């Protein structure tokens, strides 16, 4: 194809998206669209998969059967969400093997929030309430993104996600209304997860390199700072309701803006964690790669068994 032809196709392509048409796997698409989607969608899938690790830490020690079944179901959902997203990414012509490979070698990123440790049961509450809360704010606009398979996967993910946040808030509420020790646990978890949750919504607009193009492709509908503000405005009253204090001395309602003003985010910490120097980066990767490698003989055995069964079936027919 000549440069001019490609330019022409690109113009038509952008016009389709501007008209709110969806792009499907076999449609022509600019290489940059394909690559950007593979990057964002796989990063999303990896986050779901790695996101199971901090929570699975507490499944065996959940304080009651009710909490245990809920946490199990939530972690199972995350596995499911990872799978929806991986298979949606594969429609762009990249194999599952390659996607895993990118995660395991560190070539692909996942949400840096999962590199923080889960040291008490209250962390299960804080993760559901704050981390899933922030994730929902990020994800809801993606239900109408331009790439069909991604948007369909996101519709399913969002439908399932709201139970995650509610179960987390319920845990926090119970602890906050419990003994002094329990309330301290809840406050301590909020103190540790608040700032990383704000960072989870991405670098400030001034530093976000992908925003403009992503807005055009509807991979992003609102800027990181707008999403962050939305998250803060919705979460502060929820904390007040259960008597917990947001760990930000500069947090103040701004009547004029109709929003909360908030303190400075420690972006240095964010970039350190992204670069691999968070408290649990190595541990998470070790667990993930270990699970994959230790499962290899099972995958091979299942394949060998399937082939043997198939051969037997064919023999019978002859």
Partner 1 sequence: MSKKNWPIWEIFVRSKNGLEHRHFGSLHAADAEMALENARDVYTRRNEGVSIWVIESKNITASNPDNNGELFEPAQDKVYRHPTFYDLPDEVKHM
Residues of this chain that interact with partner 1 (CB under 8 A) are 24, 26-28, 73, 76-77, 80, 83-84, 87-88, 90, 95-97, 101, 152-153, 160, 296, 299-300, 302-303, 305-306, 309-310
Q: Report the residue number, 16 or 210, with the smaller CB distance to partner 1.
A: 16
Q: In angstroms, what is the minimal distance from the CB of 78 to partner 1?
A: 12
Tell the burial category of 292 from Cβ atoms under 10 Å away from its Cβ (0-12, 13-18, 19+).
Answer: middle
Q: Report the residue number, 9 or 236, with the smaller CB distance to partner 1.
A: 9
Q: In angstroms, what is the minimal distance from the CB of 151 to partner 1?
A: 13
Q: Report the residue number, 27 or 240, with the smaller CB distance to partner 1.
A: 27
The 8-class DSSP code of residue 21 comes to P
φ/ψ bin of 22: left (φ > 0), alpha (ψ from -120 to 50), beta (otherwise): beta
Q: Report the residue number, 48 or 248, with the smaller CB distance to partner 1.
A: 48
Q: In angstroms, what is the minimal distance from the CB of 173 to partner 1?
A: 24
User: For the range 211-219, what are the long-range contacts, defined as Cβ-Cβ under 8 Å and sequence gap of 24 or more?
Assistant: 213/32, 213/36, 214/36, 214/40, 216/14, 216/17, 217/17, 217/33, 217/36, 217/145, 217/146, 217/147, 218/17, 218/144, 218/145, 218/146, 219/36, 219/37, 219/40, 219/142, 219/145, 219/146, 219/147
Q: In angstroms, what is the minimal distance from the CB of 8 to partner 1?
A: 15
Q: In angstroms, what is the minimal distance from the CB of 313 to partner 1?
A: 11
Q: Report the residue number, 141 or 148, with the smaller CB distance to partner 1.
A: 148
């Amino acid at each position: 194809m000549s440069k001019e032809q490609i330019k022409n196709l690109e113009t038509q392509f952008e016009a389709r998206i501007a008209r709110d048409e969806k792009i499907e796997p076999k449609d022509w698409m600019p290489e940059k669209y394909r690559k950007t989607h593979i990057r964002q969608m796989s990063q999303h899938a990896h986050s779901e998969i790695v996101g199971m690790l901090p929570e699975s830490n507490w499944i065996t020690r959940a304080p009651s059967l009710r909490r245990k079944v809920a946490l199990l179901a939530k972690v199972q959902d995350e596995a499911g969400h990872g799978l929806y997203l991986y298979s949606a990414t594969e429609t762009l012509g990249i194999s599952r093997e390659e996607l895993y490979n990118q995660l395991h070698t560190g070539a692909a990123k996942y949400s840096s929030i999962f590199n923080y440790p889960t040291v008490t049961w209250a962390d299960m509450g804080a993760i559901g309430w704050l981390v899933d809360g922030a994730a929902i704010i990020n994800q809801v606009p993606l239900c109408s993104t331009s790439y069909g398979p991604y948007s369909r996967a996101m519709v399913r993910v969002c439908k399932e996600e709201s139970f995650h946040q509610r179960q987390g808030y319920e845990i926090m509420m119970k602890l906050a209304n419990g003994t002094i020790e329990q309330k301290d646990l809840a406050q301590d978890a909020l103190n540790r997860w608040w700032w990383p949750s704000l960072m989870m919504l991405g670098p400030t607009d001034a530093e976000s390199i992908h925003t403009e193009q992503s807005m055009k492709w509807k991979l992003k509908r609102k800027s990181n700072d707008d999403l962050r503000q939305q998250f803060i405005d919705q979460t502060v009253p929820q904390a007040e309701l259960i008597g917990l204090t947001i760990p930000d001395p500069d947090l103040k309602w701004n009547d004029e803006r109709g929003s909360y003003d908030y303190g400075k985010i420690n972006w240095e910490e964010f970039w350190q964690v992204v670069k691999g120097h968070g408290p649990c980066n190595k541990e998470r990767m070790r667990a993930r790669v270990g699970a994959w490698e230790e499962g290899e003989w099972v995958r091979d055995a299942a394949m060998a068994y399937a082939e043997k069964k198939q051969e037997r079936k064919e023999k019978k027919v002859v």
